[in-house]
Chain A
Amino acid sequence: MIVAGFWFALPALALIAVFFVLPVAAGLALSLSDFDIYALGNLDYLRFVGFGNYARLVQDPLFWRALLNTFYFVLVGGPLSVLVSLGAALLINARLVRWKGLFRVVFFLPVMTALVAVAVVWRYIYHPRYGLLNYALGLLGIEPVDWLGDPLLAMPALILMAVWKNFGYNMIIFIAGLQSIPEQLYDSARIDGAGRFQQLRYITLPLLAPTFVFVGLLTMIGSFQLFAEPYVMTQGGPGDATLSVVLLMYEQGFRWWNLGYAAAIAFLLFAIMLAGTILQLRLRRGL
């Protein structure tokens, strides 16, 4: 039995060791080297540069731009997406609502779609001349806007699309959280004369706290990994306005073959995500 347990776990552990743990360790070593297109051809050109890549990175204005853009996406898009998810969950879970299952499935549909495919559609929705969005705004008397061509609007446009695509996922988790709140709490609150808003403020939101922690972490981690949206929609433009850290890593690593530099980008992002995770967990504990 002791031997059996080991053999059952072995294939998974071996795969994780070889295709995850080893590359992560190798990535750390890579980030301390000047691995580039010459080293890719002949390893004799490979040199150890210590923290040279990291030192260059913190002086690279493009990296700061990418970091700033990514924080924009995380700090604006993340909370917005959580709020929309919570709103949808509260609506669906309301006692008076019928066809709950149907609404739940419809709101979940965008989550199932391949991002590249819906990005194709959203590019046309944002089209300055023929796009649906400008047409709808035109009906309200608003002048046409070049959503993806304006450096100030491109990131909000990506955020809007990401919220549309992702809110259904967190919504499902919120619905599960809402359903775990005992109905008697609301009954006794009503007897005590608490209104809808007071019930939300003093029962629902406090009891959803653990769900908020989980959803918040999940959303933050996912948002830091922003890649496909700018890759397909804007190629990081206009004028680097939507360049994300992962997109920068991809371009440095797989377009220019600066693998050492790209590995340093990946590890800095990891460090920032780790700090964000610890910070969020601390904040919640303080509440």
Chain B
Amino acid sequence: MIGSQAERLLLHALLVAGVVLTLAPLLWMLSASLMPAGEASVYPPRPVPSAITLEHYVSLFSRLNLARYFLNSLVIASAITLLSLLINSMAGYAFAKLRFAGRDRIFRALLSALVVPAQVAMLPLFLMLKQIGLINTWWGVIVPGMASIFGIFLIRQYALSIPDSLLEAARIDGASEFKIYWLVILPICRPILVTLAIFTFMGAWNDFMWPLIVLTDEAMYTLPVALANLLGEHVQDTELMMAGSVLTILPVMLLFIFVQRAYIEGITAGSLKD
């Protein structure tokens, strides 16, 4: 009994040490964002502000156009999430439950395309979007994210377990194919759709390289791109940069804390392809 008590203590000590190391950078970011200007650059480092101030948050919104970047991020991430959910769920359902010529061959081809890294497509995609005038627009970021092979795969695996008899019954009742998809399939797929929605939103919100390439005008920047740009001009304003980081991270963090169970289950589901 004494042995297992000591072991329990050791395990928890290690875990708590891990928690401290994991949280320290995030907590210090929050603390420094509330410090009066200059207080984060002292030796020895201050763990907490001498007086809490919101001046950096205020100047991000009043001087540095942060509301605009926030709006850009929100519109882009929401549009990618909603559109890709619709498009991927239709395709995932079709690959799982509907028969059409070449279905399985096309699906295998899609899976093998997963090995191609996105960077390979970026240069020509930029030239294409330039031709059709989508560079420096919300749509330029949204359009390439509207369909995802991974999303189709995830929904297909889930939809495979739906019994065919259910679809047959709906067809005998005279429901149209779209009605079946909308009223039967989507409600059944709800758990996987929620997971995929969180996945997609967080990925789009945090994405850096593609928005950096497509959005050339400062007014169009998403939060991460704007933050990287701010870092160039305000590298000395530690407290201001920390406030910008907090505002970039906070929405996703809050969303995560509300839905973490569904999200974590989704990662596990995605990893269970034998």
A binding-site residues for B, Cβ under 8 Å:
1-6, 8-9, 11-13, 15-16, 19-24, 26-27, 30, 88, 91-92, 94, 96-98, 103-110, 112-118, 120-125, 127, 129-132, 135, 164, 168-169, 172-173, 176, 210-211, 214, 221, 224-225, 227-228, 231-232, 246, 249-250, 253-254, 259, 262-263, 266-267, 269-270, 273-274, 277
Contacts and interface: CB of A to CB of B under 8 A. Distances in A.
Interface of B: 4, 7-8, 11-12, 14-15, 18-19, 21-26, 28-29, 32, 40-45, 87-88, 90-91, 93-95, 98-101, 103, 106, 110, 113, 115-117, 119-128, 143-144, 146-147, 149, 152, 171, 177, 181, 202, 205-206, 208-209, 213, 223-225, 227-228, 231, 238, 241-242, 244-246, 248-249, 252-253, 256-257, 260, 264, 267-268, 271-272, 274
A286 to B, nearest CB: 19
Given A2-B99, A24-B121, A132-B28, A120 B213 contact: no
A273 B117 contact: yes
Contacts of B245: 116-118, 120-121
A6 B126 CA distance: 29
30 contacts: A2-B99, A3-B100, A5-B94, A9-B103, A16-B113, A16-B147, A19-B144, A20-B113, A20-B116, A22-B124, A23-B122, A24-B124, A96-B7, A105-B257, A110-B22, A110-B26, A113-B252, A115-B224, A117-B224, A118-B245, A121-B25, A121-B26, A127-B41, A168-B22, A169-B267, A224-B117, A227-B208, A249-B119, A266-B123, A274-B115
Contacts of B209: 227-228, 246, 250
Contacts of A112: 202, 206, 249, 252-253, 256
B116 A115 contact: no
B115 A263 contact: no
Contacts of B122: 23, 253, 266
Contacts of B103: 5, 9
Nearest to B207: A114
B224 to A, nearest CB: 4
Most B C-beta atoms less than 10 A away, residue of A105, A112, A249: A112
A130 B41 contact: yes
B108 to A, nearest CB: 13
Contacts of A221: 117
A125 B241 CA distance: 13
B11 A6 contact: no
Contacts, number: 270
Contact of B249 (A27, A92, A117): A117
A269 to B, nearest CB: 7
Tell me the dominant secondary structure on chain B's binding face.
helix
Given A109-B22, A110-B22, A173-B268, A269 B119 contact: yes
B143 to A, nearest CB: 6
Contact of A121 (B206, B208, B242): B242
Sorted nearest first, the 3 A-B pairs with minimum C-beta distance are: A5-B98, A12-B91, A5-B100
Contacts of A127: 41
B100 A116 contact: no
The secondary-structure label for the interface of chain A is: helix
A130 B267 CA distance: 38
Contacts of A103: 15, 18-19
B40 to A, nearest CB: 7
A47 to B, nearest CB: 16
A203 B260 CA distance: 30
B242 A173 contact: no
B124 A108 contact: no
B124 A92 contact: no
Contact of A11 (B91, B121, B181): B91
Contacts of A116: 208, 224-225, 227-228, 231, 245, 248
Contacts of A273: 115, 117
Contacts of A232: 228, 231
A176 B270 CA distance: 11
B44 A135 contact: yes
A21 B11 CA distance: 49
Given A22-B124, A266-B120, 18 more contacts: A5-B98, A22-B128, A27-B121, A97-B15, A108-B256, A112-B202, A112-B253, A114-B206, A116-B227, A117-B248, A121-B25, A124-B242, A125-B28, A132-B45, A225-B117, A232-B231, A270-B120, A274-B115
Max chain B C-beta neighbours (<10 A), residue from A11, A98, A135, A214? A11
